């Protein structure tokens, strides 16, 4: 598909940067309204079509939010675009998906292990009780139940980093969790033993936090991610063996 002409792409990007600069200079916050389209055209010295194209780009990135019939506002500034990009990369290329998943697991564990001492010291009794309840939900529903188990797992890890009060860590942690949850079903081999071990590891995380045991907390985190790493390693080995079979040689070769 032919792209836009270089001059048009450059102008569009200048307008994108101009709108971003306006948001920063005016110290606007998520939910604050942006000027009307004619006002943006005048302020940026750009045509209406250029402003509209720039707004579409920024809307896709969640930097602005278009509310039809109401106007354009500063967006939530979420990491939805990052999630979609990473998930698409993992699903698009069979050569890359195992490395993508391995990297995501490393980053997720890095966040939690790197802040383990603070998490353990900051979790209060109410939060610990809530974590216990989420583990109970995972135990009651089981991985084959679908959303019940998965939703409880996601909520568990969101609550685990919540006491840090760091929105960026929270958003990144959930973004990487979301990407993994999209790509992970393409792995085989999640057994009943893995489910049991995963639930036990979550419970051990809560128990260690309640006891103020940072070492035990980090050990439980490692136990939690061990089945995932095993599945990635086994899937990669199966895929590599398939590639080595004579009938499949060149199966992934490029043009």
Q: Where are the domains of the chain?
A: 6-74, 80-248
* pLDDT surpasses 80 at 48: yes
Q: Which residue has the tokens 């890095």?
A: 110
Instruction: For residue 97, give every residue at least 6 positions away whose Cβ sits within 8 Å of its Cβ, in sequence order, or none.
Output: 90, 91, 183, 186
What number is the average pLDDT over the span 159-186?
81
φ and ψ at 68, to 5 degrees? -60, 130
Of 160, 9, 187, nearest in space to 94 by CA = 187
What pTM was computed for the model? 0.65
- The length of the chain is 255
CB-neighbour burial class of residue 50 (10 A; exposed 0-12, middle 13-18, buried 19+): buried
Mean pLDDT for the chain overall: 81
pLDDT band at 105 (very low <50, low <70, confident <90, very high): confident
Q: Centre a 10 Å sphere on the Cβ of residue 248 and count the other Cβ atoms it contains.
A: 11
Q: Can you give the pLDDT at residue 253?
A: 34
φ and ψ at 4, to 5 degrees? -70, 155
Q: Which residue has the tokens 């390693």?
A: 233
Q: Can you give the pLDDT at residue 146?
A: 60
Tell me: domain 6-74, CATH 3.40.50.720, correct? no
Q: Can you give the pLDDT at residue 76?
A: 77
* pLDDT surpasses 50 at 182: yes
Ranked by mean pLDDT, which of 9-13, 52-56, 240-244 comes out on top? 52-56
d(CA 102, CA 254): 24
Q: Which of 82-96, 142-156, 196-210 has the lowest mean pLDDT?
A: 82-96
Of 60, 56, 51, nearest in space to 82 by CA = 60
More confident position, 46 or 187? 46
Of 59, 238, 79, nearest in space to 167 by CA = 79
First-residue to last-residue Cα distance in the chain: 19
Q: Report helix, strand or coil for 75.
A: coil
Q: Which residue has the tokens 């949850």?
A: 181
Q: Can you give the pLDDT at residue 8?
A: 56
Percentage helix, strand, coil, to 5, in the chain?
75, 5, 20
- What would the two tokens of residue 28 be? 């606007």
Which long-range contacts (C-beta less than 8 Å, at least 24 apart) are formed by 119-126? 119/160, 119/161, 119/163, 119/164, 119/209, 119/217, 120/208, 120/209, 120/212, 120/213, 120/214, 120/217, 121/212, 122/163, 122/164, 123/160, 123/163, 123/209, 123/210, 124/163
More confident position, 193 or 185? 193
pLDDT band at 82 (very low <50, low <70, confident <90, very high): low
d(CA 154, CA 165): 18
Q: Can you give the pLDDT at residue 4?
A: 46
Q: Can you give the pLDDT at residue 231?
A: 80
- What would the two tokens of residue 243 be? 């590639």
**What fold is seen in the domain 80-248?**
1.20.120
Q: What is the largest CA-CA distance in the chain?
A: 65
More confident position, 112 or 242? 112
């Amino acid at each position: 598909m032919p792209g836009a002409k270089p001059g048009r792409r450059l102008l569009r990007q200048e307008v994108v940067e101009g709108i971003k600069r306006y948001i920063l200079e005016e110290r606007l916050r998520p939910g604050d309204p942006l000027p009307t389209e004619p006002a943006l055209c005048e302020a940026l010295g750009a045509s209406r079509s250029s402003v509209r194209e720039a707004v579409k780009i920024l809307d896709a990135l969640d930097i602005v939010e278009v509310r039809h019939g109401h106007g354009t506002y500063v967006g939530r500034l979420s990491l939805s675009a990052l999630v979609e990009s990473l998930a698409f990369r993992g699903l698009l290329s069979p050569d890359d998906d195992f490395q993508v998943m391995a990297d995501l697991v490393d980053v997720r564990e890095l966040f939690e292990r790197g802040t383990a001492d603070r998490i353990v010291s900051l979790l209060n009794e109410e939060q610990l009780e809530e974590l216990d309840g989420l583990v109970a939900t995972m135990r009651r529903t089981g991985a084959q139940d679908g959303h019940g188990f998965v939703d409880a797992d996601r909520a568990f890890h969101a609550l685990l980093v919540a006491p840090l009060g760091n929105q960026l860590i929270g958003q990144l942690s959930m973004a990487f969790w979301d990407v993994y949850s999209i790509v992970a079903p393409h792995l085989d081999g999640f057994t009943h033993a893995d489910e049991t071990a995963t639930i036990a590891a979550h419970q051990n995380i809560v128990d260690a936090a309640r006891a103020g045991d940072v070492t035990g907390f980090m050990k439980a985190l490692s136990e939690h991610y061990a089945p995932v790493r095993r599945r990635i390693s086994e899937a990669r080995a199966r895929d590599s063996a398939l590639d080595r079979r004579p009938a499949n040689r060149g199966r992934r070769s490029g043009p």
